[in-house]
Amino acid sequence: MSLSIPTLGAGTFRLKGEDAYNSVKMALEAGYRHIDTAQIYGNEKEVGQAIADSGIAREELYVTTKIWMDKLGKASFIPSLDESLKDLQLEQVDLLLIHWPLKDDAVPMEEYLQELKHAQDTGLARHIGVSNFTVVQMQQAIAILGEDVLYTNQVEVHPYLQNRQVVDFCQQHRLIVTGYMPFAYGDVLKDGSIKHIAEKHQSTPAQVVLAWMAKSGFVTIPSSTKKANIESNLGYVDVMLTDEDMETIAHLDRGHRLANPDFAPDWD
């Protein structure tokens, strides 16, 4: 599968109003071409306005949004996507995700995945995927839609939560892993080992983490409201981690999960 999704994207989780607009505007000005949002973030309008105001050609951009859990039923799925597209001022998103799997089967997975596929078949989404799916749920999804239909599983991944079972399954089934919260809200940026590697490479801890994500084959979507950080993060491409660096980071895994709401699945 050729990767048409840029490795580093600008996330917009927890960004509201002007913060969301400014963050996306700064990211696009800095050179980011991949923007990630979601219905539940309540910022699709601002994200859409920042994209529109950037003047960047549509085909240069990769825009992701996600369908929230109360919109997964057949009656509301596509109408909610139409609303998102209107807010984003786009005719199509590049990637549409199911934001969270349902625990209670209020809407059967088959129903919402068929709607997801319908969005792709009718040109409302170029690629489709899932988010926060466990191995068992990915197995179910592939059984419903077939191999090579889903493009990514967006899950929490950072040096303190390396999510290996999910990652291995994704890699076996040609699903891109998109890792969110790569800095674990800043926790890993304070890590002594990460700081040591950063000093060695004359880089920032954030650049080290992003270089590790990229070298591991992950796409990632950190969010920031600071222009300096948004610009500096792009420098990860100049950080050439050694096998020893990768080994050091591999040992930092400690199951430190931050995104764990009460509706989360039973994690692997």
Q: Which of 232, 206, 223, 181 is nearest to 20 (CA)?
A: 223
Residue 99 annotated as binding?
Answer: yes
In sequence order, the β-bridge partners of residue 158 are 161
- CA 166, CA 136: separation in Å to the nearest integer? 9
- From residue 192, alpha-carbon distances to 197, 212, 228 in Å are 9, 16, 23
Cα–Cα nearest to 142, from 134, 150, 133, 151: 150
Minimal CA–CA distance to 152: which of 58, 88, 229, 220? 220
Which letter, b or e, does each residue of 227-263 get, where b requires 16 or more Cβ atoms within 10 Å of its Cβ?
eeebbbbeebeebebeeebeebbeebeeeeeeeeeee
Cα-Cα end-to-end distance for the chain: 26
Q: Taking a C-beta distance cutoff of 8 angstroms, is the pair 149, 199 a contact? A: no
Which of 21, 32, 41, 62 is the catalytic position?
Answer: 41
Residue ranges in the chain assigned as alpha helix (H): 17-30, 44-54, 77-88, 109-121, 135-145, 164-172, 192-200, 205-215, 227-233, 243-250
Tokens of 196: 């040591």
Q: Tell me if residue 160 is catalytic.
A: no
Positions at the binding site: 99
Residue numbers in the known binding site for substrate are: 99
Active site residues: 41
